[in-house]
Structure 1
Amino acid sequence: MTGAAYVEFAVREARGVSPAYERLALAVSRDDEVLALVGTLPPDKRQPNLLFGVVRLLGGPVDDPVAFHDHTVANWPAIAAQMRVRATQTNEAGRCAALLPLLAALPQPLALLEVGASAGLCLYPDRYAYRYGDHMVGTGEPLLDCLSVGRVPPDGVPDVVWRAGLDLNPLDVADPADVAWLDALIWPEHAHRRARLRAAAAIAAADPPLLVRGDLVDDLPALAARAPAGATLVVFHTSVLYQVPAPRRKAFAEVVAGLPGHWIANENAEVLPYAALPESPDEGLYNVLALDGTPLAWTRSHGQQLTWFP
């Protein structure tokens, strides 16, 4: 079971995106000793991103499967301890490139509330620059590249007057330890994403968002109620619900659908299903971008591709 999950990660997520992680995940899927160690963890703590991120955080090698095996076996108590207390909180500002077309089309100004906000770097879509092929939107750094297929990108960024995030464990870009964890979650070859993290973190540090420690069902209504009158409330989330048990996902969908404003979901169709979807562009892992429960496009997990439905 765990081995199959590592094969799926290699084939659907890492292939064509991170050769190092594709190679490493396939090696782990065949490594009985490492799989046995990972199997001692709770099921929700066994995923490849978490294991690889923790090993990187602790200074271990992820570019050589043999060295990774030796390091992981020799240092398993420390690795396991970190995996038990951490979660994959990848805070990829690039995901804003997939969200921007919907945000720019809603009634302005906006009050943004991100569920599973991590350090809140996706709460600044108005501060980033975007490049959709030859089409540029916004100015400054970081510059977010996205392949957009099937719809003309927007001409401008949204007007954001309030930004808040809800997370079980909010991260602080002013804390070097939290930034080190965000860095460790970035895949080995992705130097552009590390530069993007630094640029986005500087923006958040200069104008910190409201980050609240809380549960996505129990604490969402109270935080949403703090949004300013006269702004359009937008509750959004990206690649978060796979970490939430199915009954809580259903409860969350009911809660968010009952709030005023709009709901943007960018999640894998297996965790937030829809009645009918067109075929995905290829065998890679795609999220479904949806507005108020209506699916609109396929997206890649780091915001690098956006394919609109016909």
Structure 2
Amino acid sequence: MTELDADSLREYYRKFAQLEATDTSPIYAAWASGVAQDDEVIKHLPDLPKPKRQANLLFAAARHLGAGEGDYAALRTWLLEHWEMTRDLMLARSTQTNEAGRCAVLLPALAQIERPISLIEVGASAGLCLYPDRYSYTYTTESGPVTLHPKDGPSTVALACELTNAPPPDRIPEVAWRTGIDLNPIDITDGDQQEWLRSLIWPEHELRRDRLSAAASIVSAEPPRLVPGDLLETVDSVLSEAPAQTQKVVFHSAVLAYVEPAERERFAVLMRSRDDVVWISNEGGGVLPEIGAQVDREKDGRFVLAVDGRVIALTGPHGQSFEGLD
């Protein structure tokens, strides 16, 4: 390990603690701060490929294997005693967080589409976000709450979203066909893979774990088609299979940050070239620079939601808020 590697990792874990975890997970904030100052733990991380060094993956793997949710001293002791098994799991798994709550910020864009939809998710994980038509929604607005249910009645998955500076959606569109693309799709009917998704949810987020369980139950009853493959190599062939007379929609949420910048740009160029596709992106502000540059103020950790490359809102990373920018 070079000192440059160590310094880069220390800075990454410091920033993770300060910018990502402080307000949402005191446990992860303390753990990340601890790793940033711990040469003994830091020295193990450069042996992993760069995408595998991230805090979310390290902490999820440790909890999945039984490290518990105690203070950093307890985590440190556990990691040093169980590093080989932790490393093996980190190499085998990835951060495929599948947050059904994000459907609440996708729905205002999807509801603008009148025709039945062919829905294609890039980076689908287990495909829980491919079922926006099976969930219930409550939008908190300045004039009061607005609730929408699937056509067959209230869902066991109830998503809440604070909506400002935008009208709430007035309908749940018809999804006629759905397919996901992922390098390593997760089988939601497999208990161990479902438990991995639970481990990826941060310790204090019990509501999200309950939501995962409820969404998994719905999706397990009718599992989606998930195509293994790279987004650039696979999306055109999947699009060619979409039924005629439907509107093709390609969407992704918190996915492209894990793709190399050059590939992100190639994907954006591909999406802009397809005039038969509605492209919905919901990513961090710096992930797609041409989209992020349209927002002229601080994003405060929120995602940028864009339709066909045009920004329409800032959104909470778990679907908890939608601030219109039109």
With normalisation by structure 2, the TM-score equals 0.91
Offset, 1:156: 2.0
Shift of 1:7: 2.0
Match of 1:129 in 2: 136
Residues 1:165 and 2:183 aligned together:
no
Q: For residues 6 and 289 of structure 1, what CA distance do their matches in structure 2 show?
A: 27
1:147 is aligned to 2:165 = no
- 1:184 aligned onto 2:199: yes
Residue pair 2:64, 2:199 contacting (<8 A) in 1 also: yes
> Cα distance, 1:11 vs. partner?
2.2
Distance 2:72 2:324 in 1: 37
Paired position in structure 2 for 1:272: 288
State how 1:40-55 maps to structure 2 within 5 Å.
40-55=47-62
Counterpart contact for 1:288–1:299, Cα < 8 Å = yes
The question of whether the paired residues in 2 share the 8 Å contact of 1:96 and 1:125 is answered with yes
- Rounded Cα–Cα distance in structure 2 between residues aligned with 1:159 and 1:249: 29
Alpha-carbon separation, structure 1, partners of 2:117 and 2:312: 20
Write out per-residue CA displacement over residues 146-166 of structure 1, whole angstroms, 9 at most, x where no aligned residue: 122211211221111111000
In 1, Cα distance between equivalents of 2:198 and 2:172 = 27
Measured after TM superposition, the shift of residue 118 of structure 1 is: 0.3
Is 1:10 equivalent to 2:17 in the alignment? Answer: yes
The amino acid that maps onto 1:137 is L
Alignment of 1:1-310 (within 5 A): 1-133=8-140, 134-138=145-149, 139-259=154-274, 260-274=276-290, 275-280=293-298, 282=300, 285-310=301-326
Please list every run of at least 4 consecutive aligned residues from structure 1 whose deviation after the TM superposition is greater than 4 angstroms: none
Q: How much identity, in percent, do the aligned residues show?
A: 44
Q: State the AA in 2 paired with 1:25.
A: A
Q: Give the letter for the 1:309 counterpart.
A: L
User: Which structure has the larger Rg?
Assistant: 2
Give the C-alpha shift of residue 50 in structure 1: 0.5
SS at match of 1:161: strand
Matches of 1:295 and 1:5 in 2, distance apart?
Answer: 28
SS at match of 2:47: coil
Aligned residues: 308
Cα distance in structure 2, aligned partners of 1:97 and 1:268: 17
Q: Distance in 1 between matches of 2:109 and 2:92?
A: 35
**TM-score of the superposed pair, with normalisation by structure 1:** 0.96
The separation in 2 between residues aligned to 1:145 and 1:30, in whole angstroms, is: 38
Partners of 1:131 and 1:46 in 2: CA distance = 37
Structure 1 residues 266, 120: CA separation in 2 closer, same or farther (over 3 Å shift)?
A: same
Give the C-alpha shift of residue 140 in structure 1. Answer: 1.4
Q: Which runs of 5+ in 2 are unaligned?
A: 1-7
Equivalence for 2:4: none
In structure 2, do the counterparts of structure 1 residues 184 and 2 end up closer, same or farther at CA, with 3 Å as the change threshold? same
3-state secondary structure, aligned to 2:305: strand
Letter of the structure 2 residue corresponding to residue 86 of structure 1: R
Q: Which secondary structure does the structure 2 equivalent of 1:99 belong to? A: helix
Distance 1:307 1:203 in 2: 29
Distance 2:251 2:233 in 1: 16
Q: Is the 8 A contact 2:114 2:173 kept in 1?
A: no
Equivalents in 2 of 1:22, 1:305: separation in Å?
23
| SS class of match (1:218) | helix
Contact between 1:92 and 1:302, CA under 8 Å: does it hold in 2? yes
Q: Which amino acid aligns with 2:76?
A: H
